[in-house]
Structures are given as C-alpha cells and as structure tokens.
Structure 1
C-alpha cells in the first residue's frame, strides 16, 4: 500500500519517540527559569517514598500486637516502637508517625487500587478512571524554575504499569501516569554525568538535533490531526503532550548547559544493582541517587515507589531474597498461618530499615546549608493499612527542621480526616500556599507542620 500524504514518516516517528524515551516525561515546565545556577537561600525539598500491600496489624489481645504491630504503642511523645519500626528509633527526633488518614474516594476500593491515588486523592470508583495531578507535580510546577529538572520519578520496576497497578507515584495535570525510571546507570548518566556523558560542544549539537526532531514531528502532526478518528485523536494528543514537554526540557537543558554541576563523588553508589539477587543493594542504590540529586540540587521534588501492589514486579520476591521467607510480599499479607504476623512484621521491619538508611544518608550528607534532611520534607508510607483496607494509612513524616517542622510524636487522626489535608499542609510548609488539593477540607489539624 502506498504512503498517504497524511501518514507520519516511520523514521521520523521513531526518532521522535526516541527523544520521548530518552528524556523524562516532564510536566509543569511553563514557569520561567530563575537566574540559572543562582542560589540565594536554602532550598526546600519534597520527597515521597511508597511501599505496597499495607502493613501487619495484629489485633489488640493478640500476643503479636505488642511486638509486630506497625503502628507504635501509645500516643503523643511517649509512644513506644514495636519491633516493626524499631529501625527508626535513632531518628525519633526527626520523624512523626501519623495514623488515621486516608483518601475518602478510595476508602471502599480494593486496597491495591488505592495505590494509584496515594499522591492524588483521585477517584477510581466506577468504570471511569478519574485520577488527577499528584501532589509532587503540584510542587514541581512551583519549584521547577530553580533546578535543572522539575522532578525525579523513580521506582523499582520503571515505566507506568497499568491502571490500578501502576509502577509510578506521579501523575500529570490530566491525571495520566508519568513514567518512572529504574535503571541506575542510565539515571546517573542522564542526570549527573557532565554534559550527559558528552563534551559541552557535542551535547549542544545533540540538543539541537533533538529539537529539530521534535519540531518535525510536531509540524507533521498538525496535518494529521484533522484526518483521525476520535480515539486516535486522543492517543495523538497524549503523544503530542509528551513531545511538548520534551521540547520544554530541551530548552531547559540548553539554558543549563554552561552551568557547571556541583562537585560530587559517586564512588559509593552501586550503579549496577540487581533487584532479582540483592534487593537491599538495589533499593539503597536508588536512595543514594536521590541523596546525590539533593546534594547537587538538580531537582527538589522526588518520588520513589519501592515496589508495586498486588504481587506485581520485582518487589514481590524481596521477602524471599532478603529474609529467606518462602512467600512473596503479597502472599504474606494474605497468609493465615501461625507465624503470619512475625513474617509480615519482619518484612515491614526490613522495609523500615531501608527507609532508615535513607534518613541516615540525608543526616550525614551536607550541602552548603547543612545536613540535607533539615531542608527536606519526606513522607514514607502505603495506601492501605492492611492488604485490602484503604483506610488508616501507615505514614511516617520526616525531616524539615529548618522549615519549622516539629517532630517526635505519634498522632492518631480521626478516621475521616482526608489525607489531602496533609498534602496542603506539606505544600504550605514548602512555601507553596495552595488553597486546596484534590478533596482537601483545609490544612491538617496538627502542630507538627505549624
């Protein structure tokens, strides 16, 4: 069949697609850049770390409750960690445990579906998928002008997954998932290698070529748009939105091209970890890259999905590989054997140990403004309390001392408190005075965030 006048040239399309894959999918690029490379005050950073499948919650009266309940015993400042969160004991002054929060539209969902809404508060009820922008992207919209990249979206599996089983925490203003990245060496070379692994002259030439490719595909798409059916138009619109954001990132890269990176050492980072052999090394290498991103100030907004919901992806086998348990994470959460709570609690403890490592690195790594953790607000948690119960999210808020955050307590909020209220308070703490987010009813009723 002959080539129609409105067909996109296959070579052009693949080149354009290559640009889309080569650069991160970017939203909120429209804000004007600040004076490139200038730093006048301590940066405020925002970070989200997620784990799937809920947590072990032995009921009161069960012998395992005092030992393996994820939430601490007692409340306020005098709470006591169980074995589960014991790895966080040394960070007590830098963290707050939060209980009771959840997203109203997700409370009756099968718990795994709620993972899509952890940072959005979106509506997945019914047959329509009505997700919305994630809170990290709201922050990126306001903070992108300060850094080389608006955000960094990482996961253990990479990509977007699929509806109700996503492999990313980040969603654009239209509620579409933003692909996450997971190949450590590629991440390092893309974000940290000088000039992207090329000399400045070669990098400038490469950027010019990328821009030409994007312009060519954008031009071809105009004549194509009027000849497509409704479904194809929607798919093309999604693709062109991606290309537009790539074009903005190319412009951003050009502006930062001659600004030297801060000096750093990456000798301690394993850039070739294997999630199917050593999950601890894999996760900690991801955290190391995030800390390096903070240290060099390439971005101030980050998300990391440690594993996917419902037994999907590499994370399902982490309990087997890390602890020698003969079940996967999702399988453990459904198990009813005698040692069920100990196994689940032990794995929850292992996850907390990895998060503790992240906090350690932020406390011992400094930039010109002091320890990274003091200017970084971090939320660690899951979208359900137990396997399929999307209420009472297990949450740990950490860092942000220089932003006025006051830690050291375990607070149980009312079971009807919207988690989006926490996001509004976090954004305010970051200096982003939004009036609302998703289904929020105001700021969170707490003294932790002021």
Structure 2
C-alpha cells in the first residue's frame, strides 16, 4: 500500500530539546485515536518518586555511619542495608540501589536547584531559567495513545513553585514546569469519575463548551500576540502552549467518553487526609491513588514529589509531625549537634517506609497481566547526596521484572563516564520507546538493564 504524502513512517524519530526518541503513534501514521491495553499487550509503565534535601551520610569516622548512612554497606549482591533502607529488605529482589549518578550540569550548583533538573538533566547554571523536557513527559507523549490520560503529575504542595523551590517534577517540551496536583479528593473526582456524576451526554456538552471557550481564547490570544514586545510575546507563547495542552486533553476526553473505566474497588482510599496533621496518611493516600491509577490503566506515567526543597512547603514539618523530632527536614540537614545523624537517619528511614509501602502495594496489586510492579519502572530518590551536594544522587530503581531488569545489587557508577541521563535512556527503551539519547547522555546504563 502506498503511503499518502501527509503520512509519517511509524519509525519516525523526534530530535531536539535534549532527546532523540521515536514519535508516538499519530493519526497521520494511521494509528487509532485510542488503543487498548489488550491490543498493545501488557502495559509498560514509568513512575518517579522524589524527596528533597539529600540524605544522611555520616563520615567514615562517625559512630553512626554503620547504622544511619543512607547507602548500603558493601556492593554487588552482597550489600547490606543500614537501618535507613532496611524497610526495603522484603523487596530486595525487586530493586537495585544506584550510586555515583548525577547530572554533570547540576554538580556545581547548590543542591536545591538540582531538584529542578532531576528528571531533565537541564543546565540551570546561568541567570536565565533554561530547563528542558523531563523524561516522564517524553514517556507520556509516546504512551499517551494507550490511556485516558497521558500522565499524572502529583506533589505534596501542588502547583509549580519557583526556581530552586520547584513543586513539580514534570517539564514540558519547552522546559516549562507543569503544575502538579495535591488534593486527593479533587484528584479522585477529576480522574476516576470521568462523567463527574452526570450522564455521558451532559459530559459531552460540557466538553464541547470547554472546547469552544478554549478556541475563543486561543484566537484572541494569537491576535494580541502580534502586537506584543519580545518578552511579553515569550510569556504569551507559554500561555498559548498551556491552552493548547488543555485543548488537546479536552479532545482526548471526548474520544474516551464512551469507553467506561475498568471496575475498581475504592473502599481502601482515604481521601480525607491532611498533610499538616498526619503526613504518613497523606503520603500513603497519594500512593494508593497511584496504584489504583495504574491498576485500571488510567495512565502509564506518574510523578510524585513528596516534598519541596529547602524547608519550603508542607514537607518541612513532616519530621516533627511523624517522629516528634523538634526540627524540620531542612534544618536537620544543616544541623551539627550530637544527635544530628540519628535524627536525619530516622527521618530518612521514615521516608523509606513510605516508599516501601508503595512498592508493597504495587507488588501485591494485580491487573490482568500480573503484579503491577513487574511491568512498572519506579525510580525513588533525590537530587542531593548530602545537603547541597548535587552529586552521587541517592537512588532506588524498583520493578520492571517483565521489562528486562536484573535486580538485587548495589552498583556505584563512575560519574566521570556515566551521567544520570544514561539511566533515563535505558528506562525509555525498557518501556518500549526506542531512544538514542536524552539530555547529556552518552549511551545506556551499563548494568541493571538486560
């Protein structure tokens, strides 16, 4: 069959903005607007979970090093967890501990701004904010045809924050931050109740009205843009890009309107949680929503920022609320008192317990293809090692047994030869997105991935 002039080859690659990867199936490739999991085989998913301010790393001469250093003792398969990562012991065969990785362009900046580049590898060393697309958005673009929503961007604080105090992990193709969501009840009602409690026809009318409004705003904004100066025009372009995203999702919602959500049990969800009262309940409620979203194939890409950098936001008070420590997270990371390493280690351990809860839920929750964890790559970590040191990121890569991962080891990479973006190249390839490079990568990760 001859290809029409407007049709693209299905192996067309998108290059630029720090990435080279295969384009997702588009209509001009002859792909259907909506693809089901059964048609595409077992879903391949990607998830990122972030915590701020680095981790406790007592020096070698400290009596607390053996118990409270974040990184394990030993290496390879013979490593031993310290108390900090001990909650992950039951999942040892489902995860890998990674050391030595970081983004070269972030190594010389204060650690808190490195959080902005954790998923991008962008260069923020200058005065201008010149970030680039995050790896989750590359995955979301490619995997979007299979699901109702391309991605979920979640955080404890919501919104985007600001440079070095960002409250989202996700950045669009222009390097602009994508607002995250943080109110569990709103998230549930928006994404897990697509008809909003009304009839399908009511929802269709609402979507069509939304499209008309966006069309009118887009038309007026484009007309106005022609009369603006360069700086205002740049801001308007960002606004138009945001509106275009809204328009695209409205169109997606209409395509999926007649396709019912898979049946699910929401009886275990606790949506009446408050991060300022019970942080553990809050974090676990978000994790429960994420598990449910993956279980019903609502999306295949999620990010969750457990707290913001530098003492900003709700997460600063979590050590006080959860453990009775009299200092906030950022203050602990700078403290030099006698019990400093114990307090920091206890809080690192508490964060690990929350992530272990998520891994346990993913391992014991099934879809038609088996445990969710086996088809999901999940990266947990921070963009600092110790306070402001933006190198040797603490990282745990979990899941993906069916995606070719070989777990069970603690590996320390040489930062001179292996940038963190190599990990993202391998993750994208593992979920079926053929990728040559991402950001400043120089190849795939040399281990863990088969």
TM-score by length of 2: 0.92
The residue aligned with 2:432 is 431
Secondary structure at the residue paired with 2:380?
A: strand
Q: Offset of 1:236 from its aligned partner? A: 1.4
The residue aligned with 1:411 is 411
The residue aligned with 1:15 is none
Greater mean alpha carbon deviation, residues 322-331 or residues 238-247: 238-247
Q: Offset of 1:105 from its aligned partner? A: 0.3
Structure 1 position 184 matched with structure 2 position 184: yes
Secondary structure at the residue paired with 1:196?
A: coil
Q: What do residues 327-351 of structure 1 show as CA deviations (whole Å, max 9, x unaligned)?
A: 0000000000100000000000000
Q: Where in structure 2 are the equivalents of 1:204-283 lying within 5 Å?
A: 204-283=204-283
The residue aligned with 2:94 is 94
Contiguous gaps of at least 5 residues in structure 2? 1-22
The residue aligned with 2:12 is none
The count of residues paired between Structure 1 and Structure 2 equals 422
Distance 2:360 2:69 in 1: 24
Distance 2:126 2:228 in 1: 29
Distance 2:328 2:34 in 1: 49
Secondary structure at the residue paired with 2:49?
A: strand
Q: Where in structure 2 are the equivalents of 1:60-139 lying within 5 Å?
A: 60-139=60-139
Secondary structure at the residue paired with 1:197?
A: coil
Distance 2:444 2:36 in 1: 33
Instruction: Tell me, yes or no, if the aligned pair for 2:149 and 2:299 is still in contact at 8 Å.
Output: yes
Contiguous gaps of at least 5 residues in structure 1? 1-27
Q: Offset of 1:229 from its aligned partner? A: 2.2
Q: Where in structure 2 are the equivalents of 1:330-349 lying within 5 Å?
A: 330-349=330-349
Distance 1:125 1:225 in 2: 30
The residue aligned with 2:20 is none
Distance 2:300 2:208 in 1: 27
The residue aligned with 1:442 is 443
The residue aligned with 2:38 is 39
Relative to structure 1, is the Cα distance of residues 389 and 189 closer, same or farther in structure 2, using a 3 angstrom cutoff? same
Runs (4+) of structure 1 moved beyond 3 Å? Answer: 28-38
Q: Offset of 1:239 from its aligned partner? A: 1.0
Q: Offset of 1:267 from its aligned partner? A: 1.2
Secondary structure at the residue paired with 1:436?
A: strand
The residue aligned with 2:16 is none
Q: What do residues 233-275 of structure 1 show as CA deviations (whole Å, max 9, x unaligned)?
A: 1221111111111111111100100001000011111112100
Distance 2:317 2:197 in 1: 34
Instruction: Tell me, yes or no, if the aligned pair for 2:131 and 2:175 is still in contact at 8 Å.
Output: yes
Relative to structure 1, is the Cα distance of residues 317 and 121 closer, same or farther in structure 2, using a 3 angstrom cutoff? same
Instruction: Tell me, yes or no, if the aligned pair for 2:362 and 2:373 is still in contact at 8 Å.
Output: yes
The residue aligned with 1:159 is 159
TM-score by length of 1: 0.92
Q: Offset of 1:72 from its aligned partner? A: 0.3
Secondary structure at the residue paired with 2:435?
A: coil
Instruction: Tell me, yes or no, if the aligned pair for 1:29 and 1:245 is still in contact at 8 Å.
Output: no
The residue aligned with 2:8 is none
The residue aligned with 2:305 is 305
Q: Offset of 1:39 from its aligned partner? A: 2.0
Q: Offset of 1:38 from its aligned partner? A: 5.3
Instruction: Tell me, yes or no, if the aligned pair for 1:29 and 1:248 is still in contact at 8 Å.
Output: no
Greater mean alpha carbon deviation, residues 273-282 or residues 216-225: 216-225
The residue aligned with 1:421 is 422
Distance 1:383 1:410 in 2: 18
Q: What do residues 150-176 of structure 1 show as CA deviations (whole Å, max 9, x unaligned)?
A: 000000000000011100000001100
Aligned-residue CA RMSD (Å): 1.3
Q: Offset of 1:59 from its aligned partner? A: 1.2
Q: Offset of 1:444 from its aligned partner? A: 1.1
Q: What do residues 179-231 of structure 1 show as CA deviations (whole Å, max 9, x unaligned)?
A: 00001011001100141332211111100110110111112223212222222
Instruction: Tell me, yes or no, if the aligned pair for 2:34 and 2:255 is still in contact at 8 Å.
Output: no
The residue aligned with 1:396 is 396
Instruction: Tell me, yes or no, if the aligned pair for 1:36 and 1:255 is still in contact at 8 Å.
Output: no
